[in-house]
Amino acid sequence: MRKNSLQHEHAVVVGAGIAGLCAAAALATRFVRVTVVDRDDIAPDSWFRRGVPQGHHAHYLLERGAMAMEDLFPGLRAEIKAAGVPVHDFGIVARFLLPTGWSPLHETGITIQPLSRPYLETFLRRRALALDNVTLLTDFHVDGLNLARSHKGPHHVRGIRGRHNGQAVDLTANLVVETTGRGSRLPRWLTEHGLPAPREREISARVVYASRIYHGHPDSGPLIQGALVYAPTRRRGGAVLGMENDTGLVILAGADGELCPTDEEGFAAYATTLPTPVVRDYLSAHEPCGPIHRTTNLSNRWRLLHRYPKWPHGLIALGDSVCYFNPIYAQGMTVAALQAAALPGWLDGHTTTRIFQHKLARIIRTPWLMATSADLAWAPRQAGATARAAHWYLDRLMPHLPAKPDLYRRFASVQHMRRSPATLLAPSVLRTVLGPAAPPLCP
């Protein structure tokens, strides 16, 4: 195994979102200095910002992601709780209309804190910037990588070049970590130096989201409730998520070509077409406190950086810059936190950045399989044997969940990445899935 020659003097993190802030906290335990750069003009209390358009939509942190963030920011969960966001049992606070009935309201032992992505980011930013060796440079536009070329082995990234407050600047660094997300310019930065663009894998369910914030939590029932899209029978979905400061986020979803409206009348009318009146009733009883935001053509995309020939030394990419998922599965923030949490151990092991990209691929592999196996049901001709088998099994499993709390608890633990999907192949589960069929899936 090749050893790296990284000096732990200065690390630069490109992007000050969830992935970047988690990475900064992790790197601060090993580097003398960590500089985070972001193109947005970010104030301490910045909420929605241009560089994070997905912040307008629903996010919730899976329990495993919360545990990873707690490791990076000790006491984070207690701090958020003290600010008015309690910790709940997932099985009690969230209820979804599955294809054959409502998920059971039973304790699962899985804990979550329902809060918006921008609110979570304010906590992470405050904690990261409180570290003595972490600095944030805002209004910093990165133009590319500074690369030392090699004729024998991989090239070596020596830092970044860009414009800070309109002035050209070079930042020299021993390690550059790219975390700017879905819109990452990393492929262009590589090709500018004559290197190949990374290969990508993309699977799209043609998902569209429209979201709006309202005053007040749901008047009755759990804090989070609704009906999600489910391939190939349910192309429209929607939910209400109670959040911080006594607000609620309504999200409407469309898959396989369904387009959620952004006008007032169309938004309300779309809610009446859902298989449950939960969203419709909430809209009729609560006042909006912001505009409707829509994002279209959301997909799953994986840049296969672990297969990149001669990956440059001194460069890492993580979070959505490497792989992003259909947001309906709520995997993105958790995967980013797990990847950031892996940085200190990798640095202590002194292996190359290429080896680390392989490590990140192992973190991605299971959530990717879970997300794409479901979404490939919208495009069955693209599905391989593994995806078809996984969706067949899921179709047999789902009808049993409403009436079997123990099975739902096991299913939820896989969703929250606490347990491997293999737990759904345990003998007791196999007997249920392969035994007498439950009621057929409803549209």
Any idea what the CATH number is for the domain that residue 22 is in?
Answer: 3.50.50.60
CA atoms within 13 A on the CB side of 196: 12
Among candidate residues 342, 372, 402, the one where a domain is terminated: 372
Amino acid, single-letter form, for residue 300: N
> Do the domain assignments include residue 443?
no
> Do the domain assignments include residue 42?
yes
> Do the domain assignments include residue 343?
yes
> Do the domain assignments include residue 356?
yes
Write down the pLDDT at residue 47: 57
Confidence of residue 137 (pLDDT cuts 50, 70, 90): very high
Residue 384 three-state SS: coil
275 burial (CB, 10 Å; 0-12 / 13-18 / 19+) is middle
Q: How many CB atoms lie within 10 A of CB 346?
A: 19
Q: Is the pLDDT of residue 60 over 80?
A: no
> Do the domain assignments include residue 68?
no
pLDDT digits 0-9 by tens, 304-358: 999 998 899 999 999 999 999 888 788 899 999 999 999 999 999 878 999 999 9
Which phi and psi angles does 279 have, rounded to 5°? -70, -45
Write down the pLDDT at residue 330: 82
Residue 318 three-state SS: coil
Among candidate residues 298, 331, 351, the one where a domain is terminated: 298
Q: How many CB atoms lie within 10 A of CB 99?
A: 20
Residues 49 and 145 in one domain: yes
Q: What is the mean pLDDT of residues 276-281?
A: 96
Q: Is the pLDDT of residue 16 over 70?
A: yes
Residues 53 and 143 in one domain: yes
Q: Is the pLDDT of residue 1 over 50?
A: no
Residues 241 and 357 in one domain: no
Residue 25 three-state SS: helix
Higher-pLDDT residue of 257 and 34 is 34
Give residue 389's domain range. Answer: 382-433
Residues 358 and 391 in one domain: no
Residues 193 and 172 in one domain: yes
Percent of the chain with pLDDT over 90: 70
> Do the domain assignments include residue 109?
no
> Do the domain assignments include residue 81?
no
Confidence of residue 2 (pLDDT cuts 50, 70, 90): very low
Decide: 108 and 62 in contact? Cβ < 8 Å.
no
Give me the sign of the Cα torsion angle 215, 219, 224, 229: negative
Q: Which residue has the tokens 């958020």?
A: 80
Residues 275 and 230 in one domain: yes
Number of domains into which the chain is organized: 3
> Do the domain assignments include residue 439?
no
Q: Is the pLDDT of residue 155 over 60?
A: yes
Among candidate residues 280, 298, 316, the one where a domain is terminated: 298
What average pLDDT does the structure give for the chain?
A: 90
Residue 392 three-state SS: helix
Residues 211 and 288 in one domain: yes
Closest CA to 66 of 114, 100, 98: 114
Between CA 64 and CA 416 the distance in angstroms is: 6
pLDDT winner (highest mean) among 87-101, 140-154, 427-441: 87-101
Q: Which residues pair with 134 in a beta bridge?
A: 34
Write down the pLDDT at residue 274: 96
- Both tokens assigned to 280: 């419709």
Confidence of residue 436 (pLDDT cuts 50, 70, 90): confident
Apex 296 CA angle, 292 and 298, nearest 5: 125
Higher-pLDDT residue of 436 and 282 is 282
Decide: 201 and 290 in contact? Cβ < 8 Å.
no
Residues 194 and 223 in one domain: no
pLDDT digits 0-9 by tens, 102-111: 999 999 999 9
Closest CA to 234 of 435, 10, 395, 4: 395
Q: What is the mean pLDDT of residues 376-390?
A: 80
Between CA 135 and CA 141 the distance in angstroms is: 16
DSSP 424: G
pLDDT winner (highest mean) among 53-57, 70-74, 431-435: 70-74
pLDDT digits 0-9 by tens, 219-268: 888 999 999 888 888 999 999 999 999 999 999 999 888 999 999 999 99
Residues 426 and 309 in one domain: no
Write down the pLDDT at residue 400: 94
What is the pTM assigned to this prediction? 0.92
Write down the pLDDT at residue 372: 85
- Both tokens assigned to 223: 């804090």
Q: Is the pLDDT of residue 427 over 80?
A: yes
Residues 405 and 366 in one domain: no
Between CA 242 and CA 223 the distance in angstroms is: 5
Write down the pLDDT at residue 385: 83
219: CATH: 3.30.70
Residues 194 and 309 in one domain: yes
Residues 53 and 139 in one domain: yes
